[in-house]
Amino acid sequence: MSVLVGRKAPDFDVAAVVNGAEFVDSIKLSDFKGKYVVLFFYPLDFTFVCPTELHAFQEKLQEFHDRNVELIGCSVDSTFSHYAWLHTPRTLGGIKGISYTLLSDLKKTVSADYDVLLEGEGIALRGLFLIDKEGVVQHQVVNHLALGRNIDEVLRLVDALQFSEEFGEVCPANWNKGDKTMAPTQEGLREFFEET
């Protein structure tokens, strides 16, 4: 498994469905320079854990937008499969109501470039990549197929990254927005433990 943290995120140029209904022939990561991007992979449309995650991301979509974050989902399905799933009600396992971009990685190049392609299965693991405004990966996590993600944790990591960028301090374990941070020095660490 490749570690992409600290490296430029691999660019892509694939078809997608945007705004829940619009087919687009070309979406590139470089289209989002100047914004933060949360790029997440899921195995397949019309499966089981996947719709719970996609709906959970949608429920927090405004919170991502408030942080200047573009949310992008990706699977190896076609845009036609995405479209059909986007028009299937939640009660039938669909994702009707999802409005963020869903990439179609039909040729499996994006999954391979991000090293989340499950060889032999032809599907992606549940990879998630937090990419900064310059296109550099700042966080990555990869779950196996049965393990759904915690969307609040993704938001917490966005907050930590943005805080660190703005103030130059670092965010300790279990940090949440508004909690104490520290200078990235021995003195900063000492002061942090003295005050907590």
pLDDT category of residue 195 using cuts at 50, 70 and 90: confident
- Beta pairing, strands 69-75 & 137-143: unpaired
pLDDT in tens, 29-63: 999 999 999 999 999 999 999 999 999 999 999 99
Which tokens hold the place of 66? Answer: 């408030």
Q: What is the pTM of this model?
A: 0.96
The CATH homologous superfamily of the domain defined by 13-149: Glutaredoxin (3.40.30.10)
Q: φ and ψ at 131, to 5 degrees?
A: -115, 130
Q: Which residues are catalytic?
A: 50
